[in-house]
């Protein structure tokens, strides 16, 4: 039901779509995507039912880490457009009823940022304490390293001033000194700037590193709470979505625990990793366990669920043996793996192009308790390009047509930001234009399931429980109840057909079952049992119709 509360906490029932302007659509023909191109395609996203666009970094940057190395927080990378183009995009998105969040990368800057240039110039300049400098680096653990392929430590010696600076990521990304109140004021100022330009919130990069302080008198979570208060004062319905890949026990605190006064949403990295393990085993137990282990959240807090993000598909929270199982199933070649902990592939190639299984996975994602976050190109089943190094293999240009460069850009292929995918998942086989014409395409399927997901707020808002499937481990059945509504999603992870029996516990309160995805006739309930015949890799979402209730279509 739409009430003041549900529309204020808009992120609880959103469908988020992550994209990089640089790889979405090149309008001016220079080989890079730009804001004008994106603005031209806002209707495509609106038509698909996306309700919130997450923009990866678009700021000026030497581009040594795909824009996550920022050299100016108050401008656009001139190759992507001007602030005027940004505002034109924001206006168009708002006109189509969409929210926009942007990446907030303030754990570190680029070493080309004027703050760092000043900071490293002398020990006594005004910006010295914007970064973390020491005479002698503390002992480091291998586990501290985020990029073990490129760095052998998180401290780098700087000859000029004879001290070492901290960088959790690459050495060209020095960490800001969050213990310095002036740095915290600067962060508030830049957050305020983008809010003033109309953004609805932020995807906050690398949060555990960001709030790590060298100052024992400063509680890291106070930093997050203060940032939350600040953005809420500036704009009451703004939202922060955190990148916090930690076990549930620690993660809960990043929401602000029961108070819910830190990050509004956090990605569920644990569930994502357990989902791949479940797919590899064709057994839903790892998902069931993760869902049951999730801590309870405050009403305004929300999980963000995803199948793929822009980084390596990290499997770092699985045991060595479990990770190996997923590697063997979905990325056995060393070239498909990264940092010993993740995969640099997209889903369809991992599933060997099995369309039924691809749909199973996204049918599972959308109703998982939380807010689904899609990565551009998932809606058409794009694959990766393993010729492109590292994490960038999954960040190839969006494939629009079967023409040159997949219709992404009119520039000669040698001038593109990065090469398009080729072969079985290249634009000749996978592109938006062809899928728009085909009513059975993945794209048109996505449009239908997203519409249904948005019409079913129980999945985003409700109290959710994993249901008993009479000992059939391959099947996941979960139910979400919210206000008068009760919905159940059932997914068969095995290739074998199933006769599924799901015990409801309160089945007597309902008299019919309405299929939410197919146009099947409503079915009667068998006492307390929800029974259904399912194909191999089959799925169903159903609404339980209350005996006394109104018929909700
Ligand atoms: C996060 C981003 C990643 C980036 C890193 C450093 O992990 O998701 O893409 O490289 O932070 O900013």
Sheet containing 337-338: which strands, arranged edge to edge?
313-314, 342-343, 337-338
- Alpha-carbon span 297 to 498, nearest angstrom: 34
Is a pLDDT exceeding 80 seen at residue 549? no
pLDDT at 288 over 70: yes
**Beta strand 201-204 with 99-104: parallel, antiparallel or unpaired?**
parallel
Q: Let me know if residue 222 belongs to a domain.
A: yes
Using the mean position of ligand 1's atoms as its centre, give its distance from the Cα of residue 310 in Å: 9
Instruction: Specify whether 190 is located in the same domain as 58.
Output: yes
Does the pLDDT of residue 551 top 70, yes or no? Answer: no
Query: Is residue 389 domain-shared with residue 269, that is, in the same domain?
Result: yes
* Residue 150, domain member (yes or no): yes
Q: Can you give the pLDDT at residue 184?
A: 97
3-class SS at 280?
Answer: helix
Sheet of 463-466: strand order equals 463-466, 475-482, 485-492, 539-546, 510-515, 523-524
Which pLDDT band, with edges at 50, 70 and 90, does 7 fall under?
confident
CB atoms within 10 A of CB 262: 26
Q: Whose CA is nearest to atom 9 of ligand 1?
A: 311
Active site residues: 205, 243
What values do phi and psi take at 95, rounded to 5? -60, -35
DSSP string, 430-452: S-HHHHHH-TTSHHHHHHHHHHH
277 and 360 together in one domain? yes
> Tokens 């994490």 identify what position?
391
List residues near ligand 1 (CB under 6 A). 65, 68, 105, 169, 205-206, 243, 310-311
Say how many residues make up the chain: 553
What pLDDT is attached to residue 524? 83
Kindly give the distance from the C-alpha atom of residue 117 to the centroid of ligand 1, in angstroms, as a whole number: 22
What percent of the chain is helix, strand and coil (3-state, nearest 5)? 35, 20, 45
Of 425, 453, 481, the residue at which a domain comes to its end is: 453
Question: Whose C-alpha lies nearest to ligand 1, atom 4?
Answer: 68
DSSP bridge partners of 209: none
* Number of Cβ within a 10 Å radius of residue 203: 25
Q: Return the closest-CA partner of residue 89 out of 32, 150, 31, 24.
A: 24
Q: Model confidence over 264-281: pLDDT tens digits?
A: 999 999 999 999 999 999
Which CATH number does the domain housing residue 253 bear? Answer: 3.20.20.80
Ligand 1: centre distance to CA 147 (Å)? 10
- Residues in contact with 424: Cβ distance below 8 Å, sequence separation at least 6, in sequence order: 349, 353, 383
**Claim to verify: residue 361 and residue 410 sit in the same structural domain:** yes
Q: Is residue 344 part of a domain?
A: no
Task: Specify whether the CB–CB gap between 49 and 450 falls below 8 A.
Answer: yes
Q: Are residues 132 and 202 in the same domain?
A: no
SS3 195: helix
553 — pLDDT class (breaks 50, 70, 90): low
Q: Is residue 337 part of a domain?
A: no
- Identify whether 419 is part of a domain: yes
Q: Mutate which of 59, 65, 70, 269 to test ligand 1's pocket (most atoms within 8 Å of Cβ)? A: 65
Q: What is the mean pLDDT of residues 466-492?
A: 96
Distance 300 CA to ligand 1 centre (A): 26
Tell me the C-alpha distance between 95 and 520, whole Å. 36
Residue 552: its pLDDT value, please?
61
Instruction: Report how far residue 108's alpha carbon sits from residue 161's, in angstroms, rounded to the nearest whole number.
Output: 20
What average pLDDT does range 109-118 have in this prediction?
Answer: 98
Last residue of a domain, one of 453, 483, 513: 453
Kindly report, residue by residue over 353-394, the tens digit of the pLDDT.
999 999 999 999 999 999 999 999 999 999 999 999 999 999
Ligand 1: distance of its center to the CA of 489 in Å?
33
Structure tokens at 93: 């998105």
Distance separating alpha carbons of residues 259 and 253, to the nearest angstrom: 9
Q: Is the dihedral of CA 214, 217, 220, 223 positive or negative?
A: negative
Q: Please give the DSSP secondary-structure letter assigned to residue 494.
A: S
Among 106, 145, 147, 169, which residue has the most ligand 1 atoms within 8 Å of its CB, making it the best to mutate? 169
Task: Give domain status of residue 215, yes or no.
Answer: yes
Report the nearest atom of ligand 1 relative to the CA of 311. 9
Beta bridge partners of 164: 134, 157
Task: Examine the domain organization and report whether 100 and 149 are in the same domain.
Answer: no
- Closest ligand 1 atom to 108 CA: 12
Q: Are residues 123 and 235 in the same domain?
A: no
- Say whether both 292 and 187 belong to one domain: yes
Pocket test for ligand 1, best of 311, 312, 313 (most atoms within 8 A of CB): 311
Nearest-5° angle of CA 255, CA 279, CA 382? 85
Point out the domain boundary residue: 453, 485, 502. Answer: 453
272 and 378, same domain (yes or no): yes
Question: In angstroms, rounded to a whole number, what is the distance separating the alpha carbons of residues 260 and 250?
Answer: 14
Q: Which of 392, 386, 413, 415 is nearest to 64 (CA)?
A: 392
Measured in whole angstroms, how far is the alpha carbon of residue 309 from the centre of its chain? Answer: 5
Average pLDDT score over residue span 198-211:
98
Entry pTM: 0.97
Q: What are the tokens at 28? A: 């001016």
Domain that holds residue 507: 460-545
Pairing between strand 265-267 and 239-242? parallel
Whose structure tokens read 């807010």?
371
In a shared domain, residues 412 and 475: no
CB atoms within 10 A of CB 128: 18
As for how many domains the chain has, the answer is 3
**111-125, 360-374, 509-523: least confident range:** 509-523
- CATH code of the domain containing 466: 2.60.40.1180
With contact defined as beta carbons under 8 Å apart, do 281 and 243 qualify? no
What would the pLDDT profile of 36-91 be if each residue is shown by its tens digit? 999 999 999 999 999 999 999 999 999 999 999 999 999 999 999 999 999 999 99
Q: For 231-341, where are the E strands, in sequence order?
A: 239-242, 265-267, 302-306, 313-314, 337-338
Question: Measuring CA to CA, which residue among 478, 88, 508 is closest to residue 294?
Answer: 478
Q: Which atom of ligand 1 is nearest to the CA of 68?
A: 12
Question: Could you tell me which residues are beta bridge partners of residue 134?
Answer: 164
More confident residue, 518 or 366: 366
Do 215 and 305 sit in the same domain of this protein? yes
Do residues 95 and 208 share a domain?
yes
Q: Which residue has the higher pLDDT, 3 or 309?
A: 309
Is 550 among the domain residues?
A: no
pLDDT of residue 380: 98
Asked if 127 and 87 touch (Cβ cutoff 8 Å), the reply is no
Residue 316, domain member (yes or no): no
Euclidean distance between CA atoms 31 and 22, whole angstroms: 9
> How far is 88 from 37, CA to CA, in rounded Å?
11
pLDDT tens per residue across span 411-447: 999 999 999 999 999 999 999 999 999 999 999 999 9
Residue nearest ligand 1's atom 3 by CA: 311
CA of 472 to the centre of ligand 1 (A): 39
What is the domain-level CATH number for residue 162? 3.90.400.10
Instruction: Write the pLDDT tens digit of every residue in 127-182.
Output: 999 999 999 998 877 667 888 888 889 999 999 999 999 999 999 999 999 999 99
Distances in whole angstroms, Cα of residue 37 to Cα of each of 48, 80, 363: 17, 9, 30
């Amino acid at each position: 039901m739409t009430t003041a509360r549900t529309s204020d906490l808009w992120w609880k029932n959103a469908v988020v779509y992550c994209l990089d302007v640089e790889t979405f659509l090149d309008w001016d023909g220079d080989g890079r995507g730009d804001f004008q191109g994106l603005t031209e395609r806002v209707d495509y996203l609106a038509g698909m039912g996306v309700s919130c666009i997450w923009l990866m970094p678009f700021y000026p940057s030497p581009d040594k880490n795909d824009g996550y190395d920022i050299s100016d927080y108050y401008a656009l990378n001139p190759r992507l457009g001007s602030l005027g183009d940004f505002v034109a995009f924001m206006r168009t998105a708002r006109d189509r009823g969409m929210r926009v969040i942007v990446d907030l990368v303030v754990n570190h800057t680029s070493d080309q940022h004027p703050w760092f240039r000043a900071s490293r110039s002398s020990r006594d300049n005004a910006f010295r304490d914007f970064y973390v400098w020491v005479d002698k680096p503390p002992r480091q653990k291998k586990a501290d390293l985020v990029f073990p392929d490129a760095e052998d430590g998180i401290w780098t010696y700087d000859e000029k001033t004879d001290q070492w600076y901290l960088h959790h990521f690459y050495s060209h990304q020095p960490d800001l000194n969050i213990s310095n109140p002036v740095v915290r004021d600067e962060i508030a100022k830049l957050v305020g700037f983008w809010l003033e330009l109309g953004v609805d919130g932020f995807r906050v990069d690398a949060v555990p590193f960001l709030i790590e302080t060298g100052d024992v008198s400063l509680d890291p979570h106070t930093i997050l709470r203060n940032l939350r208060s600040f953005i809420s004062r500036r704009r009451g319905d703004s939202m922060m979505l955190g990148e916090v890949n930690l076990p549930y026990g620690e993660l809960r605190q990043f929401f602000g625990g029961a108070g819910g006064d830190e990050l509004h949403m956090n990605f569920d990295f644990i569930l994502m990793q357990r989902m791949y393990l479940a797919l590899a085993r064709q057994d839903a137990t790892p998902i069931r366990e993760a869902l049951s282990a999730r801590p309870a959240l405050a009403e305004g807090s929300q999980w963000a669920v995803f199948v793929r993000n822009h980084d390596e598909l990290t499997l770092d929270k699985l045991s060595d043996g479990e990770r190996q199982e997923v590697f063997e199933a979905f990325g056995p070649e060393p070239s498909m793996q990264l940092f010993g902990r993740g995969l640099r592939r997209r889903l369809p190639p991992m599933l060997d192009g099995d369309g039924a299984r691809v749909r199973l996975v996204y049918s599972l994602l959308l109703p998982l308790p939380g807010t689904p976050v899609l990565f551009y190109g998932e809606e058409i089943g794009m694959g990766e390009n393993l010729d492109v190094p590292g994490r960038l293999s999954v960040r190839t240009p969006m494939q629009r047509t079967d023409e040159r460069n997949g219709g992404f850009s009119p520039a000669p292929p040698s001038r593109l930001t990065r090469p398009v995918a080729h072969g079985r998942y290249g634009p000749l086989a996978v592109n938006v234009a062809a899928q728009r014409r085909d009513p059975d395409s993945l794209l048109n399927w996505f449009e239908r399931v997203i519409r249904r997901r948005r019409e079913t707020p129980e999945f985003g808002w409700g109290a959710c429980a994993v249901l008993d499937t009479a000992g059939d481990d391959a099947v996941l059945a979960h139910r979400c109840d919210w206000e008068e509504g009760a919905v159940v999603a059932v997914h068969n992870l095995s290739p074998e057909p199933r006769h599924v029996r799901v015990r409801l516990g309160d089945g007597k309160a309902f008299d019919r079952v309405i299929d939410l995805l197919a146009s099947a006739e409503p079915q009667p309930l068998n006492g307390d049992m929800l029974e259904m015949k399912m194909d191999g890799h089959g799925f169903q979402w159903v609404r339980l119709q209350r005996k006394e209730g109104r018929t909700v279509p």
